[in-house]
Amino acid sequence: MIKSLLTIIQKNFKTLGRSKFSLIAIILVPLLVILITGFAFNSSGLSGINIGVYSDSYSNLTTEILFSLENQSFIINKINSEQDCLNSIKRNENQICIIFPGNLSKQGNSDEVRFYVDNSRINLAYSLVHEINSKISTTSSSIGQSLAQELISSLNSTKTSLSSQNFELEKLKSGVQLIVANSENNLSFVKIENASSYLILTQNLTSNLTNSTSISTNINETLKILSELNSTLLSASNKLNYLKNQSQNIKILLDGVSNKFNLMSAEVNKVNIVNAENIASPIKIKIESININSSNKSYFTPTILSLIALFGSILLSSTFVLQERKSKAYFRNFITPTSDLTFLLGNYLTCLIILIAQFILVWIGITFILDVSVLSVLSSISLVLFLSLSAFIFVGMFIGYLFKSEETTIFAGVLIATLMMFFSNVLLPIETISGQFKKIALFNPLVACDSALKKIILFDLGISKILTEIYILIGFFVAFAILSYLGRRITKRML
């Protein structure tokens, strides 16, 4: 059994090795896909994002924020009005619109910075808001930090001043205590209480003078007492002068303290923070959607239509062509007077009719199951779908002419469709693709189809607003029609 098994495996490898194209497709193409996607998605963030900006008046802070966004590779487009800014998202000229309040300042703002996003590009909207918000938040937290720092500096300065004033006050306190003590000492020194004895002595002197007995003694005693009194009064006067000086010093100190308090008050008054919220979030942000009346079902309708068109067309037309090639009649077709172009057109129209029938069913499903009405824009949608289906059909036909075996054709068809899906907004935002790959991806017919359908279904935009997408689809249509024609001519040689 093992021998048989090995023989079968050996045979399989030999046959696979002898169909080189299949081998390349099966083994090398996935590697190529990894390589391409690896190069394309090698950046961690978003790049080349167009930001529409509007403000009544661009304050210094707004300019500062815009400058910081520009430094982060965002492309800032100043728009003349808020409505134009919103419309620019609908036209896919800008991916986000930021409306700055006119008075945006570092001292806190009552008005919000409003972000307008396209919710139909949900994978972009939130990553973009997050990205820009983080940049604005950096500025905001920097402002908050500087406000807090200002507050802390003021508090620190007050604290330092208070401690120095505390010292001054201590000095004052000791000065006052000294005065009190001095007053007490001086009063005791002056011995005022002795004045009564002086008074008695004076009275005695007076009586003695009346008695004239010991006038001389008494006069001498009185003179002595008066002299003592004089010196006491002198001393008291000196002490009072000292106290006066001390009081003046205290007044000077008190003036100094008062000045310091005035300075502290001025310092504190410098802080213009009205409320705590200004420190916590000096710039307020509000996120709004431009798709006010749309639901998630509407958001995904264009993408669903694009994907059905892509996979349906590529798989149908590629297998159709391959079946034709594999048919015994393929040879006879070449010897009839019917031209290759007629055959090509015949196959294309067959696929188109089948796909149109499929899309009629899809339309019924969208209208009655998803409850999304597209009747009002049916003509525009039909044009975009016709061009997209045509482009995808010819891509599929080219694949059908390129590969020989059924499995390789289906593999290639799915692979091409998946690559197109990868390099579109379906899985990851196209803005996450880096470098030249992004430029190439912008010409992806799936991106053009999806974008055009979004503009029509979600934003009611007319044909004039989707001309770029139409040109891309026509370009693909024509290019792959020519390639399919050449492919058919080449397969003739292989017969």
Partner 1 sequence: MDNELIQFKEVTKKFGKNVVLDSINLTIPEGKIIGIIGASGEGKSTILKMIASFYTPTKGEIYYKKKNLLKSRKLICKFFGLSIEDGSFYEKLTVKENLFHFGRLYNVKEDILKKRSEELISLVGLENAVNTLAKDLSLGMKKRLDIACSLIHNPTLLILDEPTSDLDILLRNQMIHLIKKINSHGTTIVLTTPNLSEIEELCDRIAILFNEKIIEEGEPSRIKSKYHAKNLNELFNKIFSKRERKTYQESTIKKSRLKLLNKEESLKKSLISDKEKFYSLFEKKDFGEDKKNKKEVKND
Residues forming contacts to partner 1 in the complex (CB under 8 A) are: 327-339, 492, 495
78 and 56 Cβ atoms separated by less than 8 Å = no
Q: Which is nearer to partner 1, 155 or 490 (CB)?
A: 490
In whole angstroms, the minimum distance from the beta carbon of 336 to partner 1 comes to 4
Residue 262: partners with Cβ closer than 8 Å, 6 or more residues away: none
Cα gap 389→348, rounded to integer Å: 10
The phi and psi torsions of 408 (rounded to 5 degrees) equal -70, -40
Cα gap 467→41, rounded to integer Å: 28
In whole angstroms, the minimum distance from the beta carbon of 328 to partner 1 comes to 5
31 and 58 Cβ atoms separated by less than 8 Å = no
Cα gap 38→404, rounded to integer Å: 29
- DSSP-based helix, strand, coil % in the chain, nearest 5: 75, 5, 20
Q: Which is nearer to partner 1, 198 or 334 (CB)?
A: 334
Q: Which is nearer to partner 1, 364 or 486 (CB)?
A: 486
In whole angstroms, the minimum distance from the beta carbon of 343 to partner 1 comes to 9
In whole angstroms, the minimum distance from the beta carbon of 334 to partner 1 comes to 6
Q: Which is nearer to partner 1, 331 or 443 (CB)?
A: 331
Q: Which is nearer to partner 1, 38 or 337 (CB)?
A: 337
Q: Which is nearer to partner 1, 73 or 338 (CB)?
A: 338
Q: Which is nearer to partner 1, 325 or 454 (CB)?
A: 325
In whole angstroms, the minimum distance from the beta carbon of 126 to partner 1 comes to 52
Q: Which is nearer to partner 1, 4 or 339 (CB)?
A: 339
In whole angstroms, the minimum distance from the beta carbon of 326 to partner 1 comes to 10
DSSP string, 416-440: HHHHHHHTSSSSS-GGGS-HHHHHH
Using alpha carbons, select from 242, 248, 254, 263 the residue that is nearest to residue 173.
Answer: 254
Using alpha carbons, select from 226, 235, 224 the residue that is nearest to residue 190.
Answer: 235
In whole angstroms, the minimum distance from the beta carbon of 491 to partner 1 comes to 13
Using alpha carbons, select from 309, 321, 307 the residue that is nearest to residue 358.
Answer: 309
In whole angstroms, the minimum distance from the beta carbon of 346 to partner 1 comes to 10
Using alpha carbons, select from 472, 272, 455, 448 the residue that is nearest to residue 377.
Answer: 455
In whole angstroms, the minimum distance from the beta carbon of 332 to partner 1 comes to 4
Strand order in the sheet with 284-289: 75-78, 50-55, 96-100, 112-117, 284-289
Q: Which is nearer to partner 1, 200 or 486 (CB)?
A: 486
Q: For the chain, first and last CA: distance in Å?
A: 39
Place of tokens 């009649």: 329
Q: Which is nearer to partner 1, 286 or 492 (CB)?
A: 492
Cα gap 333→326, rounded to integer Å: 12
In whole angstroms, the minimum distance from the beta carbon of 329 to partner 1 comes to 5
Q: How far is CA 230 from CA 190, 215, 225, in A?
A: 10, 21, 8
